[in-house]
Amino acid sequence: MRVLPVLPAAIFAGLGVAVPILPAWADSPVVIEGPERETRQAILDLLPDRERPTTLFEAERIAEEAAGRAMAWLRSEGYYAATVTPEASEEPAVARLVIAPGPRFRFAAPALTFVDAQPAQAAAGAAGAALTPVEAGAPARAEAVLAAEAGAVQALQQAGYPDAAAADRRVVVDHATALVSPEFRVNAGGYARLGQVRAEPDTLFRASFIEDLRNWEIGAPYTPEALTRLRRDMTSTGAVSLASTRLAPPNAEGVRDVVLVVEPARRNAYELGAGYSTTEGLGVEAEWTRRNFTRRADALTLSTRLGQLQQSFNAELSRPHAPELGHTLSIGATLAREDLEPYTRQGAELYAAVEAAPRLELGRSYGVRLTADTYDNTSGDISNAYVASAFLALRRDTTDIRLDPRAGSILDARIEPAFATGSETVTFARFTGGGRIYHSFGEDDRLTLAARAQAGWMEAISGNVENAPPDRRFYTGGGGSVRGYDYNSIYPRERDALGLNPGGQGMLETSVEARWRFADHWGAAAFIDGGNAFDSWSDAADLRWGAGVGVRYNLGFAPLRVDIAFPLHEDATNDYALYISLGQAF
C-alpha cells in the first residue's frame, strides 16, 4: 500500500474563495473512511464519474484527484484543520480516502470597511446588517462569505448607490482559536438620484413614448427595482429583442439620466397554431403582427381562426402603456361565425379595451364593445341583436409560470352591463368570478395539484332577462370547461322544448387535476371536471361530471396537452372525447 501526498492546491481552498464543484453523473469508485455518513455522502456527490480502477496506477490517480476535491469541499464548509489521506491498493485495485475532518471553524465578528467615501449612515447600517450570513458563531462556510459580500453590495444599491462594488476581501483563519475573521472592503460609489429617460439608438421610438416609461419622479433616489421595471416594461411590448440600462454621468444638480439601450425586434411576426378535439374538430389559428407601427412600440395585428364550430377574423391596434404603465389600450374589429349546438351566430364587433399586463399581481381591465349579430337554429324567438356593453374586470395573480403554473393562485371577477335591442329589448348585467389554486409536492416539485371553481349569473336591469341574446347566456361543456361533453352543450334542455332562448341564467364549474412530471419533457395528468348552466340556484348543484387522463410534453415555452375524457352522466352523447392543445386546461 502506498500513501500519496495531498494536492498542494487544496491547501488554500475555502479561504473565502468559491471552489467550483463538478456534479457526479454516476457512483464514484472511491471508498471514504472516517467522517460521519452525511459528510461521506456529500463528498461522494461531488466526485466525477469514474470507472473502477483495474491497476495500482489508476487507483493512485483516482485517489489523488478525489483527495483534492474532498479537501476543497471540507475547507469550503469550515473544516480548516481537516486531513485527507489518499490511499491506493493493488490487489484488488481500490482508491481510498481516509478523512479526519477535525473541528468545524466558526466565524468571528465580521468587519466592513469602505475604501472610498463613507456612505450615509443609514446606507452603511443597511450594508452592515446584510452581513448576517457570517455573524459571529456561525459555521465558517465559504458560501456564507460570498453571500454576505453580495448582500452588502445589494443593500448599498438599494439605498441609492448604483456603483457599489466589492473590493478585495481578507479572510484570516486562526487555527489556535478555530475562528475565521472576514473583513469586507466595499467601494460604495456616489449617491444617485434619477432623472429622465432616453433611448439609444434614438431613432426607433418617439422620445415622448420613452419618457412615458419612466416610473419615478425626477430627482427620486436610485433603486435597482426602478430600472428593472423600466427594462421589463420595454421588453413586454414585443417591439424590442433586448433592453439594457445604464446611468449617465450626473448633471450639475447631481441627477443622473437613465439611458435605455434597445435592440429592435423583427418588424413582422408570424404565428400559427392548431388544436383538435373530437367534440370541436380541428381548429387552426394564424396571426400576422406589424410591430412598432407608429414608433410607440404599438402593434397592428391581423388574425384568423378557422375551426369546425367557430370561424373569425380580427384586426387590432394595440398601444402598450398608453393608458398607464403596465396596461395596454387595444382597439379592434371582429367578424365571427359560430355553429354551435344551441344556436348559429354570425356577427360583427367593434371594441376598445384597457387590459392589465398578465405579469401584474393586481390587475384592472375595462372596456366597451358594440356588436351586431344574427341567430339561426335557436329554440327562441331572437333572430338578431344589437348590443352595447361595457366591462370591468379585477384580477389577482400570484402564480409562478403563466402557461404551466406550479404554485400560487388566481382570483378574478368581472361585471358586464349591457343594453340589447333588435328582436327584443333588454338591459342586463352579467357577473362572473372564480379562483384557481396550484400547489406542488415532492422532489423538484414534480407533482402539482391544481383546482379551480367559477360561477356566473345574469340579472335583468330592465326588461325580461329571458330576452338576452343567446350568446350572452351561460353554457358549460368542452375542452376548457367540462371535458368529455360537447362544447357549450350543458344548459337547461327544457328551454328548447318550451321555445325559450337556449342557455342558462347562471353557471357553476369546478375542476381538480393532478399533474406529474416524471421526466424533463414528459408528464401525465389525471382530472375530474364538473359543471352546469341553470336558471335557478336550486339547480346549481346538479353538475355534469367528466373524468380522464392525459399526457403532457414540455415544449419549453408551454406544455403540449393530450387529454382523453369520459362523460359520467347518462345523457352524454359521446363515449369519450380527445383534446390536443397547447397549455394546461387551466
Q: Grade residue 18 by pLDDT with cuts at 50, 70 and 90.
A: very low
Cα-to-chain-centroid distance, residue 308: 33
Which DSSP category does 214 fall into? Answer: -
The number of folded domains in the chain is 4
Domain that holds residue 146: 106-187
Q: Kindly state the helix (H) or strand (E) to which residue 418 belongs, with its residue range.
A: strand 408-422
Domain end call among 264, 282, 317: 264
Q: Grade residue 377 by pLDDT with cuts at 50, 70 and 90.
A: confident
- 476 phi and psi angles, rounded to 5 deg: -135, 170
Other beta carbons within 10 Å of 537: 12
Using DSSP, state whether 366 is helix, strand or coil.
Answer: strand
Query: In this structure, what C-alpha cell is assigned to residue 468?
Result: 338576452
Alpha helices per DSSP H over 193-246? 207-212, 224-235
Bridge partner residues of 507 (DSSP): 456, 533
- 397 & 496 share domain: yes
**What does the chain come to in residues?**
586
Report field, pTM of the whole predicted structure over 0.95: no
* Buried residues in 156-192 as b, exposed as e (16+ CB within 10 A): bbbbbbbebeeeebebebeeeebbbbbebebbbbebb
Taking 50 as the threshold, does the pLDDT of residue 230 lie above it? yes
Residue 179 is predicted with a pLDDT of 96
Whether 550 shows a pLDDT value over 70: the answer reads: yes
User: What is the CATH classification number for the domain harbouring 258?
Assistant: 3.10.20.310
One domain for residues 435 and 377: yes
- How far is it, in rounded angstroms, from Cα 448 to Cα 451? 10
User: Which triple of cell numbers denotes residue 290?
Assistant: 406589424
- CATH number for position 359: 2.40.160.50
| Tens digit of each residue's pLDDT (9 = 90 or more) over 258-298 | 999 999 999 999 999 888 988 888 999 999 999 998 999 99
**Which of 100, 119, 144 is a domain's end point?**
100
Pair (480, 539) in one structural domain: yes
Mean pLDDT for the stretch of residues 187-216: 95
Q: Tell me: the pLDDT tens digits for 297-343?
A: 999 999 999 999 999 999 999 999 999 999 999 999 999 999 998 99
Q: Return d(Cα 2, Cα 349) in angstroms, integer.
A: 86
Residues 247 and 327 in one domain: no
- Distance, in Å, from the CA atom of 351 to the CA atom of 345, rounded to the nearest integer, reads 18
Grid coordinates in use for 212? 412615458
Mean pLDDT across the chain, nearest whole number? 92
Contact yes or no for 454/480 (Cβ under 8 A): no
361 and 492 fall within a common domain: yes
Three-state SS sequence of 25-50: CCCCCCEEECCCHHHHHHHHHHCCCC
Position 16 scores a pLDDT of: 39
pLDDT tens column, 56-86: 999 999 999 999 999 999 999 999 999 999 9
The x, y and z cell numbers of residue 578, run together, are: 380527445
Q: Are residues 560 and 459 in the same domain?
A: yes
Average pLDDT over residues 386-415: 95
Q: Residue 157: in which H helix or E strand, if any?
A: helix 142-158
Q: Are 75 and 142 in contact (CB under 8 A)?
A: yes
Looking at the structure, tell me whether residues 182 and 278 fall in a common domain.
no
Q: Is the pLDDT of residue 570 over 50?
A: yes
Interior CA angle at 415 toward 414 and 417, to 5°?
150
**Residues 208 and 225 grouped into a single domain:** yes
Residue among 205, 232, 222, 234 at smallest CA distance from 258: 222
Please, which residues have CB within 8 angstroms of residue 149's CB and are 6 or more apart in sequence? 166, 169, 184, 186
Residues 170 and 307 in one domain: no
239 and 298 in a single domain? The answer is no
Same structural domain for residues 428 and 298? Answer: yes
SS (HEC) of 243-304: EEEEECCCCCCCEEEEEEEEEECCCEEEEEEEEEECCCEEEEEEEEEEECCCCCCCEEEEEE
Pair 150, 220 in one domain: no
Tell which of 212, 230, 264 closes a domain: 264
